[in-house]
Amino acid sequence: MAINVIIADDSDFVREGMSIILSVDSDFAVVGCAANGRECVELARRNAADVILMDIQMPVMDGIEATGIITEESLGKVLILTTFDDYDLVRKAIRNGAKGYLIKNHTPDKLKSMIRSVHAGINVLDESIFEQVAQAPSPQSERFDASLYSARELEIIQLVADGLSNREIAGQLFLSEGTVKNYISNILEKSGMEHRTQIAIYYLTGKK
């Protein structure tokens, strides 16, 4: 069954371009296009959307506010697709329920892959955005439930959030890479998550 998509962007060129890219692939069905956040919310209320491609800076209502309404009303999963890689915007979008954040510089195949991931319940972050999240001096979110994890698991979660690879974590904690991989698998299972990026997002923002 095709993934139903709504495209929200104030640029006619971007809306039409993404619509063409997705419409020629039978895996996707574009069920509506919106020029601002308010139009997007209204479209999502009228049409059953699986994934909503959302720009941030739009007139009438911006993408972050629209994402909050769409999330609150369970109208679809929002994938932010924008030219802005500002860390504060990333945090606001994620806190408002966005399931992914991508910069507009990807190939059509990459975009389709990210839409499929979000539809499957996997949170996605642009690589440049993930680096900002990892490097930002952001404390553990108050909404992060540390009681679920052992002391060693908490160490590993923090290092994942700092952007370290399994090999780097293993070297820092004097463990084998296999042991680190097992710890991360256990953390994902306890958290009900599927990807290490989700661990970092949950640790930093409290959002799953």
Q: Give the model confidence (pLDDT) of 182-202 as tens digits.
A: 999 999 999 998 888 888 888
Q: Which domains does the chain have, with CATH numbers?
A: 3-132 (3.40.50.2300), 137-205 (1.10.10.10)
Please tell me whether the overall predicted TM-score, pTM, comes out greater than 0.85 for this model: no
Q: What is the chain's length?
A: 208
Residue 129: pLDDT above 50?
yes
CA distance linking residue 25 with residue 187, whole number of Å: 36
Q: How far is CA 9 from CA 22, 102, 151, 156, in A?
A: 15, 14, 44, 38
Cα angle: 121, vertex 127, 128; to 5 degrees: 135
Give the pLDDT band (50/70/90) at residue 161: confident
Alpha helices in 27-80 (DSSP H): 37-46, 63-72
Binning pLDDT at 50, 70 and 90, where does residue 75 land? very high
CA distance 86 to 169: 27
Over range 174-187, report the average pLDDT. 93
